[in-house]
Structure 1
């Protein structure tokens, strides 16, 4: 009897030991499994942006771009895109994207939702003009807002470019290009801020004039490049503050920076609107310092690796 009891006890202990071993094997992940899980986690990135939070797979294949600043950045990073908003004028330096190999996904203000849906994109990149379409685009594919915050231009620009580098595995190229741009900005700032010469930014549009100041759409000239504003009280607005020829003469800037909207959208230039006695009496005109900026860089695009570099060059040349 004792022998039978001892035998039963030994069998029970053996079964408990085997059960414990089995449980240990089931709940402990192997090094290979840990590595596989880590790799899986690194294939996507969660992006917090102006319009929400979006999970994006790294190195997406089918990419649609509505923001021209982002398009030029991807161009500089050698990232292939599938669809572009060709329904609006493209900057001249992005004319290659007018080719048939790139799908036309609508205009900057009116996305072609049917075309976009049919493309089955992996990522859609938008900015301010497409804000109202964000929810509908997000239902089709992961959508990220990559517009520039003009009140904090360089930090916003840097974050956007860095994000694109992370998504497409181009971190080293991004670092090099940002370093070069920042160096040129530092040089420009030192020059522009060394004297008291003032500047006034004017957008012309069918004979009317809008002034832009600090923290505005074109405020990078003052906020980042260091050109002193002729008027520090310009009303902050997306469309600028409506002004007259007399206002420009009253401010009497040393530099008059002009952006011609008509030229940007392919219409007749308005350069001759300043050919009058009122403007010709300003310091800017008398010293040949009316600087006509490239409207495709400043009005159509901006916030990309090409446009920011061109902005630095234009202002550097304009104040020499």
Structure 2
């Protein structure tokens, strides 16, 4: 009798282990084995969300950049860069699932030579919706539904508070600096979600929402646009590049004439979070906190 019970239990456990779950990805629904034992996260935003759920990836890009991701470095194997995953190192890990997104999405076909891969890209124009959807999908895949619901509840609270903070505060312009160069991003663009979450309209003329690198602008453009708020991302600081800081680039006689500068409304956002880990849970919530703190002053 004991032998039959043990055999039956083993069969039950085996059938449970082989259960499938269907999740939403950037390329549509994907059906995968539930709770993969080894996942390679080739995107920092993906790694960020998995970490928030309590899931430790088995493999990651070799450089994690963000302070809050550093605890993962000691437990995950480095498998190349964000631009170029190393297939040999990836194969040595033997992942059950590989997750690509955003910068690494173009490598999906290549990494699928090693293991099944899914694309969990988030779109800047719908980043908040996409971030919640990816979080829910990972929660379902790894049996972390309760944790996922709690994280989304916290995110919703922050979004509600931020919407109130931005009400009737004027217009805004999102800028990315890259050393001495500057680009502006409008509503519906890669960083357009910043206008959405603050409830603040974009200052000035419409900008090209499809330009992934934004519209190249000058100090004269900023002065003519005269935003009430400037939300600034420093690409150089995010990636550790040499060159003038965002503060140095913007410290210009023309920019000093704007409403944003005169009123102390030039806000330097955590650029690494926004630029390198779009949609990552901690990156996103830290950025929302920075916006809320600036608008509350």
TM-score (norm 1): 0.83
Matched, 1:253 2:264: no
**1:67 and 2:43 correspond:** yes
Instruction: Report the counterpart of residue 13 of structure 1 in structure 2.
Output: none
Q: Is the 8 A contact 2:42 2:101 kept in 1?
A: yes
SS in 1 for 2:112: helix
Match of 2:182 in 1: 209
- Take 1:279 and 1:96, find their aligned partners in 2: how far apart are those partners? 39
Structure 2 CA distance for aligned equivalents of residues 315 and 37 of structure 1: 47
In structure 2, the residue matched to 1:272 is 248
**Cα distance 1:249–1:89, how it changes in 2: closer, same or farther (>3 A)?**
farther
Aligned Cα RMSD in Å?
2.2
Structure 1: how far apart are the matches of 2:29 and 2:90?
21
In structure 1, stretches of 5+ residues that fail to align are 1-31
Structure label with greater radius of gyration: 1
User: Tell me, what secondary structure is at the counterpart of 1:298?
Assistant: helix
CA deviation string 1:244-288 (max 9, x = no partner): 111111110111111010001112433211112101011111111
Question: Is it true that 1:148 corresponds to 2:111 in the alignment?
Answer: no
The answer to whether residue 145 in structure 2 is matched with residue 174 in structure 1 is no
Instruction: Give 2:72's aligned residue.
Output: 97
Quick one: structure 1 residues 266 and 37, their matched pair in 2 at CA, closer, same or farther if it must change by over 3 Å?
closer
- 1:106-151, CA deviations, whole angstroms, 9 ceiling, x for partnerless residues? 1111000111112211111111211221112123212111111222
Cα distance in 2 for partners of 1:207, 1:228 equals: 26
The TM-score, its normalising length taken from structure 2, stands at 0.89
Question: What secondary structure sits across from 1:147 in the alignment?
Answer: coil
Q: Which runs of 5+ in 2 are unaligned?
A: 1-7
Query: For this pair of structures, how many residues does the alignment match?
Result: 284
| Partner SS, residue 175 of structure 2 | strand
